[in-house]
Amino acid sequence: GKVLVTGASGFLGAWVSRVLLEKGFSVRGTVRSNSKGDYLKKLFASHGEGKFEYSIVKDIEAPGAFDEAVKGVVAVEHTASPFHFDAEDPQALIGPAVNGTVGILNSILKNGSSVQRVVVTSSIAAAINPVTKPTVFTEKDWNKASPKEVETKGKKASAFDKYLASKTLAEQAAWNFVEEHKADITWDLVTILPPYIFGPIIHEVHSYESLNTSTLDLYTTVKGERAPEDLAKPISSFADVRDIASAHYLAITVQAAGGQRFIPSNGEYTWQDFLDALADSGLPNIPKGTPGAGKSVVHPAQFSNETAVKVLGVKFHTIQETAKDTVVSVREHGW
Ligand code: NDP
């Protein structure tokens, strides 16, 4: 069958497309330009003539934007959503996140009679809440704080809350849509809540500055541009892009996944943990920091991957593999 992957030109979307192709699916990727689509066609040429095709969706917020793209596919992986921390107006993130999600679900309702499952890429952003004591978040949790911050502070809310709110509101909109249309839909919904994603980049990136947000974040540390006092601070949780892509594949093939949220997290990290993981990689020019200083750090926000492991069967690369393969792929570009 054929699977629709939105945002196929992105860091994660390209990997979701690749894993689906490797598993024997055909893929239709949505992209915003012909040049991005052609890059992917070349990248995936070895999977066979016509196995990867692309469809141009310039503006995911436009009503009916996905009406053509959803035709004839058995499943949809909706990864397209802005991920950056430079929005002044929160609507710059919330608009595409929420309207893009509701828009594609409406298109499926209209033209997607062959669709059996829809996967929406959410984020741990949609489950976290501010905590001071160590707290383990699970699929039962919803971020109540960020949407409220944005509602009350608008443009003055933190850049962080604007992004977190966009992911939370988009995922909520998806579950609300399923609830409102349950009598008319033939598919079920799965949401994947990735932590920070690192790992090799296979999508098209023209400049160091235009690397996706999470890769740039890790690479800032690798370049030695992170303040020493920040290296052993608790940052967040992470997973490898190949494992998150795999989770997206499993989300459409594991029957029991229907109707559930999943947090495929490989654990918490400090930047020092990544430097330590790179220390034995044999790669040159890796800052040392203070080896081991991340080990005893207490992480206030933690995420349980129990459900993702049990139901989806997600497996994780080691932090050594993730760290090394990220650096190798960025350096291949000459950066
Ligand atoms: P990228 O920026 O690499 O990819 C985002 C994708 O979405 C690109 O294909 C981009 O298209 C597309 N996109 C963004 N905004 C729009 C818009 N307004 N209209 C149309 N398309 C748009 O980011 P990631 O791959 O990291 O993110 C993919 C998904 O994973 C997102 O939903 C993100 O929220 C989620 N996620 C990512 C995490 C991470 O650490 N990377 C962690 C948790 C969740 P184009 O190439 O044309 O810009």
ipTM, 2 dp? 0.99
Q: How far is the CA of 289 from the centre of ligand 1 (A)?
A: 31
pLDDT (0 to 100) of residue 222:
98
**DSSP character for 297?**
P
Determine the distance separating the centroid of ligand 1 and the alpha carbon of 203, expressed in angstroms. 11
Q: Verify whether ligand 1 is closer than 6 Å to residue 37 (CB atom).
A: no
Give the Å distances, CA to CA, from 98 to 156, 209, 213. Answer: 20, 27, 20
pLDDT band of 272, cuts 50, 70, 90:
very high
The domain of 153 spans 2-201+238-267+302-316
In a domain, 73, yes or no: yes
Q: What are the tokens at 276?
A: 């330590």
Number of domains comprising the chain = 1
Q: Give the span between the Cα atoms of 310 and 316, in whole angstroms.
A: 13
The answer to whether residue 329 sits within a structural domain is no
Residue 295 lies in a domain: no
Tell me which residue has its CA closest to atom 21 in ligand 1. Answer: 80
Q: Mean pLDDT across the chain, nearest whole number? A: 98
Would you say 313 and 250 are in contact if contact means Cβ atoms under 8 Å apart?
yes
- One-letter amino acid identity for 301? A
The answer to the question of residue 258 being in a domain is yes
Kindly state the DSSP code that residue 24 receives in the 8-state scheme: T
- CATH code of the domain covering residue 112: 3.40.50.720
Work out the pLDDT band at 249, boundaries 50, 70, 90. very high
Q: Which atom of ligand 1 lies at the shortest distance from residue 203's CA?
A: 3
Whether 233 lines ligand 1, by a CB cut-off of 6 Å, is: no
The 10s digit of each residue's pLDDT in 189-233 is 999 999 999 999 999 999 999 999 999 999 999 999 999 999 999
Average pLDDT over residues 37-62: 97
| 13 part of a folded domain | yes
CA 226 to ligand 1 center in whole angstroms: 24
Q: Can you give the pLDDT at residue 266?
A: 98
Is 225 contained in some domain? no
Tell me the pLDDT tens digit for each residue of 59-117.
Answer: 999 999 999 999 999 999 999 999 999 999 999 999 999 999 999 999 999 999 999 99
Distance in angstroms (rounded) separating the CA atoms of residues 326 and 52: 25
Burial tier of 296 (Cβ tally within 10 Å: 0-12, 13-18, 19+): exposed
Decide if 221 is inside a domain.
no
Nearest CA to ligand 1 atom 8: 10
Tell whether 213 is covered by a domain.
no
Encode burial over 51-65: b for 16+ CB neighbours within 10 A, e otherwise.
bbebbebeebeeeeb
Would you state the structure tokens that stand for residue 25, as one six-digit string? 């699916």
Positive or negative CA dihedral for 306, 308, 314, 320? negative
Render pLDDT for 122-137 as a digit per residue (tens, 0 to 9): 999 999 999 999 999 9
195 Cα–ligand 1 center, Å: 14
